[in-house]
Structure 1
Amino acid sequence: MPIKALRVQIIKPFNTDYDSQPITWDELGRTLRDLRYAASKMANYVIQQNYMWEFFRQQYKQEHGSYPSVSEHKDKLYCYPRLTAMFPLAAGQMVNQIERHAKTVWSARKSEVLKLHQSVPSFKLNFPIIVHHDSYRISEVPEDGKSSTHVFLLQANLLSREAATRTRYSFLINAGEKSKQTIVERIISGEYRQGALQIVGDRKNKWYCIIPYEFKTEENNTLDPQCIMGIDLGISKAVYWAIIGSHKRGWIDGHEIEEFRRRVQARRKSIQEQGKYCGDGRIGHGRKRRLLPIEVLENRESNFKNTTNHRYSRFIIEAAIKNQCGVIQMEDLSGINERSTFLRNWTYYDLQMKIKAKAEEVGIEVRIVNPQYTSQRCSQCGHIDRDNRSNQATFVCTHCGYGGLYHCFACGKSQVEAGVCHLCGGETKIMKINADYNAARNLAICGIDQIIVQTLEGEGVR
């Protein structure tokens, strides 16, 4: 089932007339700050222990000739008992969730860290407070709470019984707009299944709840599982898609991205130069204050990228539904930075994840395929040759001439030579093929990975 997340703001603690010890904002804020600090320390400790375990494994193998058994060395990897002893304030379920989250991060980055391609991951004080999905509850505000329709009550177990007299905290959350209210109401009714809650704070000392939720996708009987859309990302076009077995296509130029990037770079350079002779408001307050305009600019750039990726992904999914595509095939983006200037400077992975998330919502299957040779393979005859793509924009097959043929609109025939049609004497016109369109057509072929491997075995690739 697709998973989404809802971000709502904590308004204030919730107290009733029957509470003997009402919760104040000072108490709630202090508790959340203490838990956030403990959560970041716990996550860093888990990363450290897993990093040290890898060195222990290597040393153990050198001494004994085999890797150690995890079951015999649980004390080195199982951090929960030590974490609960080190941080008795946090509830046990919270410690467990933080340990799992940190281990997930380590598992995702371990390979690159051990290859010295990345540094060991670490967490700052903005690490979220994670609450198990069974340890919090959202409900309507009681009538005596005198609240509006967009405000809901959230009760969460935050502290351990051993460390505090109060373990459960209640506070009001602001759902805001109508769409968010509907989501919260569906979580309350059980139509949506809630996930692990994350509580995060910003620099203005405001606190927010990030509530993940799962929901069932609506069955779309118009989608054809045999109809595949191939999506190629970022060479001459930012995004290019094609449909298998047809000439239907679409693309996104990405010119707005390049233009925005140029403006941001120019503005950043201007701000840096102005820092030498800036006004009194930015002088004498430290490096952080002087660089504040650059930080604001970076936030604006990040928001633009996020919004643009949402628009692009929505456009692609709407095109897939319109053409009844039941499957979308995209490239495996590992190591793709070296290939494309656009992808190197854009949050392409975020774009791909948004496409995948929106596709799952409407019941479209997403497949990730190996993009190797898809840009050099002729989608018409299957011939693979580096010279098929003499430049970034156009594709001309050296075997069948696809992309460089002259087409006669009178009889519909194509020929290699320019001039009049050899068959009917009509006028011909060259039919240039965009290189990204050719790659998208290849990506729209089912099992393209195996087809390319078989082709390479049968012919030499230059």
Structure 2
Amino acid sequence: MSTEKPVMITRKIQLLLQADSKEEWKEKYRTLLTWQQMVTKAANWIVTHHYVQDSLKELLYLADGIKVKLADQQKDEEGILTTSRMNTTYRLLSAKFKGEIPMSIITALNSRIVSVFDKEKADYREGKRSLRIYRRDQPIPIVSKDIIHIEPVEKGEYRFSLYGLHFHTHFGRDTSGNRQLFEKVIMGEGRLRDSSIQIKQQKLFLLAVFDQDKVAGQLSPESRVEAWLSMDVPIIAASGGKEIRIGSKEEYLHRRLAIQEAMRRTQAAVRYNSGGRGRTRKLQALERFHDLEKNYVRTRLHQYSARLIHFCLEEGAGVLVLRHQSEKEATARESNFLLRNWTYYGLKEKISYKAAKYGITVLVE
């Protein structure tokens, strides 16, 4: 049996909220919206408090006699905290939200936000990135053990309970094989990890995180593929004497700029839209363009990254090297045009995700 650590993959599964009447459905939906608002507020409190704690030693204007050490006083006499650093924000949120939201949501949220903060705090100190801001559509984190009473229903769908609410899956055409992943969990052949619920355009989605074993393949760690990411040609990849070009400036950038231009024209025409339902009605056409651009970019990045990984598999390469990437990302941060229209981070993230599935090591230079 392989001892390799499995890859975690996230899949988006639509959920239908179950209720006996329309009034009951509205009440349950309002409960979810309230939890989402609390989660957003709590996430911003967590990151703010930990940033302040981490910055205390940099506050040079404090009296010289103040010695700052972020540690629990019970474990370190020089510490200034009355509890562990992780528990500081949990206690804050518990005092604010206990009885209004399941506390396992708060526990999961606190753990996630602190984990992300710890990974990024070095970049905050060096000015390489700004502090995260969590917006209104923040997903609601859920603990996998809280998903109970999972039962199959008609047409390959499932129902389950979560925090006293009842949900029904809706896999649709299921071109990504989400139903199969869900079935493996039911049969005990797979594992569902802590996940989240997303509320988007009055629809509910389970952002389910599954364990997935790496796909075995004949890959050699001695064989490498080198790749260059750029806006002119999204990906140029080479192995030995073979080179491929994935995507083009016309295919990616020109289409994206056309969407932006159409959105600007629509924005200028919004003032002439008829009223009747206030702001929502006036901005309805504009919102469609926001989603259109976002979906186009996401689709293209998935396609480009998939083609690159397929090339690595064809070449039997166990290592993928992204050349000159640090230099290009630094240049992109200084250019408003590149920052707005090209996403090195998004493409690199999708390449790394797909590479991990096949056990391909990604090196960034």
TM-score, length-scaled by structure 2:
0.82
Query: Structure 1 residues 365 and 213, CA, compared in 2 at 3 Å: closer, same or farther?
Result: same
| 1:126 aligned partner | 137
| 2:16 aligned partner | 11
Cα deviation per residue 1:409-428 (whole Å; 9 max; x = unaligned)?
A: xxxxxxxxxxxxxxxxxxxx
Aligned counterpart in structure 2 of residue 101 of structure 1, from 112, 121, 127: 112
Deviation of residue 273 (structure 1)? 3.4
Query: Structure 1 residues 347 and 42, CA, compared in 2 at 3 Å: closer, same or farther?
Result: same
Partners of 2:232 and 2:249 within 8 A in 1: no
Asked if 1:189 corresponds to 2:178, the answer is no
| 1:240 aligned partner | 236
The letter for the 2-side match of 1:70 is: A
Asked if 1:307 corresponds to 2:299, the answer is yes
Give the number of equivalent residue pairs.
340
Question: Equivalents in 2 of 1:342, 1:37: separation in Å?
Answer: 33
| 2:286 aligned partner | 294
Partners of 2:8 and 2:209 within 8 A in 1: yes
Question: Equivalents in 2 of 1:248, 1:306: separation in Å?
Answer: 28
Higher mean Cα deviation, 299-308 or 189-198?
189-198
Partners of 1:328 and 1:367 within 8 A in 2: yes
Structure 2: tracts of 5 or more residues without a match: 1-5, 74-79
| 1:274 aligned partner | 269
Deviation of residue 270 (structure 1)? 2.1
Deviation of residue 52 (structure 1)? 2.5
The letter for the 1-side match of 2:45 is: Y
| 1:151 aligned partner | 157
Higher mean Cα deviation, 260-269 or 321-330?
260-269
The letter for the 2-side match of 1:250 is: I
Question: Equivalents in 2 of 1:66, 1:42: separation in Å?
Answer: 29
Cα deviation per residue 1:99-128 (whole Å; 9 max; x = unaligned)?
A: 122223433554455566655433333222
| 2:226 aligned partner | 230
| 1:285 aligned partner | 278
More helix, by proportion: 2
Aligned counterpart in structure 2 of residue 259 of structure 1, from 220, 230, 254: 254
Larger C-alpha radius of gyration, 1 or 2?
A: 1
Question: Equivalents in 2 of 1:363, 1:129: separation in Å?
Answer: 31
Asked if 1:176 corresponds to 2:177, the answer is no
Query: Structure 1 residues 260 and 219, CA, compared in 2 at 3 Å: closer, same or farther?
Result: same
Cα deviation per residue 1:192-211 (whole Å; 9 max; x = unaligned)?
A: 2211121121233x222111
Aligned counterpart in structure 2 of residue 321 of structure 1, from 313, 329, 337: 313
More relative contact order, 1 or 2 (CA 8 Å, 6+ apart): 2
Question: Equivalents in 1 of 2:171, 2:126: separation in Å?
Answer: 44
| 2:56 aligned partner | 56
Deviation of residue 32 (structure 1)? 1.5
Deviation of residue 233 (structure 1)? 0.7
Aligned counterpart in structure 1 of residue 89 of structure 2, from 79, 93, 97: 79
SS at match of 1:237: coil
Quote the RMSD (CA, aligned, Å): 2.9
The letter for the 2-side match of 1:71 is: D
Deviation of residue 344 (structure 1)? 6.0
Deviation of residue 138 (structure 1)? 6.6
Question: Equivalents in 2 of 1:138, 1:251: separation in Å?
Answer: 49
SS at match of 1:280: coil
| 2:76 aligned partner | none
The letter for the 2-side match of 1:260 is: R
Question: Equivalents in 1 of 2:37, 2:339: separation in Å?
Answer: 36
Deviation of residue 183 (structure 1)? 1.5
Partners of 1:10 and 1:172 within 8 A in 2: yes
Query: Structure 1 residues 195 and 314, CA, compared in 2 at 3 Å: closer, same or farther?
Result: same
| 1:417 aligned partner | none
Structure 1: tracts of 5 or more residues without a match: 16-22, 142-146, 159-167, 370-462
Question: Equivalents in 2 of 1:80, 1:284: separation in Å?
Answer: 41
Work out the percentage of aligned pairs sharing the same amino acid: 20
Query: Structure 1 residues 41 and 250, CA, compared in 2 at 3 Å: closer, same or farther?
Result: same
| 1:214 aligned partner | 211
Deviation of residue 247 (structure 1)? 0.8
Partners of 1:14 and 1:172 within 8 A in 2: no
Question: Equivalents in 1 of 2:112, 2:312: separation in Å?
Answer: 34
Query: Structure 1 residues 251 and 134, CA, compared in 2 at 3 Å: closer, same or farther?
Result: same
Partners of 2:319 and 2:362 within 8 A in 1: yes
Cα deviation per residue 1:63-120 (whole Å; 9 max; x = unaligned)?
A: 3475414223334842222322211122332211111222234335544555666554
| 1:90 aligned partner | 101
The letter for the 2-side match of 1:324 is: G
Aligned counterpart in structure 1 of residue 332 of structure 2, from 333, 337, 341: 337
The letter for the 1-side match of 2:137 is: N
The letter for the 2-side match of 1:219 is: A
Question: Equivalents in 2 of 1:55, 1:236: separation in Å?
Answer: 41
